[in-house]
Amino acid sequence: MVDLERASPAAAHWPRQQYEGLFVTTGSRLLSERLAWVVEDECAAQPHKNSSEAASVLAFLVAHRVEAEWELENVVVAGAVRRRGAGTRLLNEFIAHARAKNGSGIFLEVRESNQSARGFYRKMGFEETGRRKGYYASPAEDAILCRLKFG
């Protein structure tokens, strides 16, 4: 996941420890929940006699729930498979999951310059609802706020 994120300039760039923290569970998560889903290229895994290589991650999605609302924190799709349905599949599955968990909606921030992602989110039913000045660093840029309401 980290390698794929680093290769995508438009992705939210997190420290490795933040990704590792996705897979650590602690206590009760009644009000808050985090999930990470991946799309793997299992054909890239090469089984060997006594071991196997990990499948290649083609796309991933990370989201966080607080009470009934979900935040889509990061979506990354490998350049080689963009516009082939991996992102749409991930987001459709996530939307279905959020609805099934009685979520009230999903919100996200996206770089103002990331026109392809903004178009993708609009196509998926999100509305642009505002702006956060100087939200992103490296390079500095405003975030566009998007929301998908259920019901």
CA distances from 107 to 47, 104, 110 (A): 40, 10, 10
- Which of the following is catalytic: 121, 135, 136, 141? 121
Rounded CA separation 82/62 (Å): 18
Q: Is 30 helix (H, G, I), strand (E, B) or coil?
A: coil
Task: Identify whether the C-beta of residue 107 lies closer than 8 Å to the C-beta of residue 127.
Answer: no
135 assigned to active site: no
| Catalytic option among 40, 71, 73, 109 | 109
What's CA 5's distance to the chain center, in Å? Answer: 10
- For residue 127, indicate whether it is catalytic: no
- Could you give the residue numbers annotated as active site? 109, 121
